Chains A and B, each alone.
Chain A
Amino acid sequence: MNRKVLSAAFPVTVPVLMGYLAIGMAFGFMLQGIGYDAIWAFFMSLTIYAGSGQYLGVDLLATCATLGTIAVMTLLINFRHLVYGLSLLEKFRGMGLRKVYMMFSLTDETYALLSSVEAPPDVEPRDFYFAIALLNHFYWIAGSVIGAVAGAILPIDTKGIDFAMTALFIVIAVEQWTSYSDHLPAILGAVFTLVSLTLVGADNMLLPALCAIVLALLFLRKHLEQKENHAHTEEKGEPPC
């Protein structure tokens, strides 16, 4: 990795730098709050590297969840990542061994950058993508370690800091709500989970909710795809064919 590639990639990653330092610090803080120090924060951020996944991980460690529960919950919370790869198949082609790291480091923010930026003309695109992924990972590790150290030194009452996870999801939902033309999937997701919470209770609510959501979306596929096509042709101003 040479200087030119890094100095081309750095400006692109500055928003992620700010975000990861802050959100990573909140993670380190929470982890410290349940009795795990900076070494654990470093290790988790190095090997897992997932914002909302690690927030949830704090919850799972604190409640001494079983490995099965941990696997299912991690799968659920990271399910959206399945979608990210689909749109980057072309971009990662021909990256050799580095591709394994590119897949590993595909967080929401890295995905957002990689799917939108173009490499400068004098920089090899694959080096550029790799540099972006590495820098973001570094910010995340740095933020979480700083947060864990600060949590050990500063006498701050952390009660309520777990709301950061709710707030993160709220922000994602607001972004989705304004960019999606159809709000039915989001509404279905909320309604089925509420029903599951009421019927099954808080401990085992997610799996029944997820099954109901997937079934409902499959059942409504014709309807939703028609609406999608309709919105698409309206945008383009062309008659439907």
Chain B
Amino acid sequence: MLSTTETLAAIAVMAVVTFLTRALPFLLFDRKGNPPRLVLYLGRVLPPAIIAMLIVYCLKDSLLALELHPLQGYETWLPALISITVAIILHLWKRNTLLSIFGSTILYMFLVQAVFVV
């Protein structure tokens, strides 16, 4: 575990970087006239690409298990696959963010704690 000072430094870095990502558009473009078209273009197309990237990142352990030992490693990737499917179906059906997140998370916790125990 990090020391108190190290933890404070880590939190400070997170806070400053988070603030900068939110403040930068105002610092750069808050004057008359529009931001460059290239920036607007990236602003439109980057978010879905980044979210897809983060989903793959979150699932890295499951994906590596699926790639390296698809059969023996099923207790790593199968709970994730089931819970993601449930999250997507729940969300398309009810459009309730809370229900989708908590329903699928509780299902996942149940699966890894009680069903696919390693």
Contacts and interface: CB of A to CB of B under 8 A. Distances in A.
27 contacts: A18-B98, A19-B98, A22-B98, A48-B14, A81-B21, A83-B43, A85-B29, A86-B29, A86-B40, A104-B19, A159-B112, A160-B113, A163-B104, A163-B108, A164-B102, A164-B105, A165-B58, A166-B80, A173-B48, A175-B91, A194-B56, A194-B63, A197-B60, A197-B63, A205-B57, A209-B56, A213-B53
Interface residues of B, number: 70
Interface stretch (A53-61, A145-153, A233-241): A53-61
Interface string B5-42: 01101111111011101111110011000010011111
B31 to A, nearest CB: 9
B42 A214 contact: yes
Interface string B66-84: 0100000000000110011
Majority DSSP secondary structure for residues of B touching A: helix
A173 B52 contact: yes
Contacts of A53: 14, 18
A74 B97 contact: no
Contact of B18 (A40, A74, A193): A74
Given A19-B97, A173-B48, A193-B53, A82 B43 contact: yes
Interface in A179-198: 180, 183, 185-190, 192-194, 197-198
B29 A47 contact: no
Given A167-B83, A185-B48, A206-B57, A89 B29 contact: yes
